[in-house]
Amino acid sequence: MVKVGIVGGTGYTGAELLRLLAGHPNAKVTVITSRSEKGVPVAALYPNLRGVVDLTFSEPDIESLSSCDLVFFATPHGVAQNTVPAILATGTKVIDLSADFRIRDIALWEQWYGQAHTAAELVASAVYGLPEFNRSAIQGADLIACPGCYPTSVQLGLMPLLQAGCVDTTDLVANAASGVSGAGRQASVANLHPEVSDSFKAYGASGHRHLPEIEQGLSDMAGAGVGLTFVPHLLPINRGIHTTLYANLTDSSLDVQVLFEQCYANEPFVDVLPAGSHPETRSVRGSNYCRIAVHRPGNGNKVVVLVAEDNLTKGASGQAIQCMNLMYGLPETAGLSMPGMVP
């Protein structure tokens, strides 16, 4: 049984970790921390976990966290880097769901996140936790940088094309739309129900923090630099991401449907839909599945890839648990095989 700690358990990704790990046959949460909710039962903050999670929030300290085999950080950027070095020094493994260890270029991270990185020496040893691309490295890792929700959808949608070397990598376009939970649980006027309901908008069109992470991942897949236009949007739903990707084929003889089916044939959580399909966010809600459909309008050279995932599950906590399973030699699907919630 893997003994698990969660730092930052009051946010949506922390709550999703608790929900998923409660049904995990090989893992048990023994420590859950929150400075602001110290002494408060988890069920008092999340009534859906009443009778399922009998833990109380505690203040994070190295001694209690080092008693765990693995610690998940479900914290805002800039928090994990201050504590992770001390935890790793005790022999406890770490999976960080924030952006602290994702970007290998420290100066670039500091530029986008507006602060100095206090654990730059660990970035090179952190393994990027996208199982479909990095499975073998994840299996031997002590520190995992779990991908962001948008980066997961964009990378999984473009990976078959980039690995096949069949598209123009200088002109990739990603239009991605996320539910409001992607902004976190903190109070914000912009995320109030009257502000987002019955509306749809783009944001960050001139630059978004996930852009350098996505570009780094796509470049790794392509084996060279890429040119990407990334525009995120806000959906008036609680959870879910729908991403539409555009690329130009350089090989017009390619059967893109077959390419995607072959690439993901053995992936437990990537579902390539039949030709002509259009994935829906509701089909993956609450699940670790990513559903993909690929189109070639008019049988021309433009490829359109549609990707649907749950931003809190495959885009965050579920993927983190998928990484945990790989790190401990457990079945990759352990605790994650539930289908999406419909309606």
Report the candidate in 211, 229, 213 with the shortest Cα–Cα distance to residue 173. 229
Cβ count within 10 A of residue 285:
23
Q: Which residues contact 187 (CB under 8 A, 6 or more apart)?
A: none
Contact 133, 220 (CB under 8 A): yes
Q: What angle do CA 175, 275, 270 make, to 5 degrees?
A: 65
Options 68, 146, 149, 323, the catalytic residue = 149
Q: Examine the residue annotation and report whether 323 is marked as an active-site residue of this protein.
A: no
160 with 259: CB under 8 angstroms? yes
Phi, psi (rounded to 5 degrees) for 196: -105, -25
Q: Give the closest residue to 179 by CA, choosing from 268, 78, 280.
A: 280
- Angle between helix 256-263 and helix 149-164 axes, rounded to 10 deg: 120
Residues 6+ apart with CB under 8 A from 141: 93, 126, 127, 323, 327
Catalytic residue positions, numbered: 149
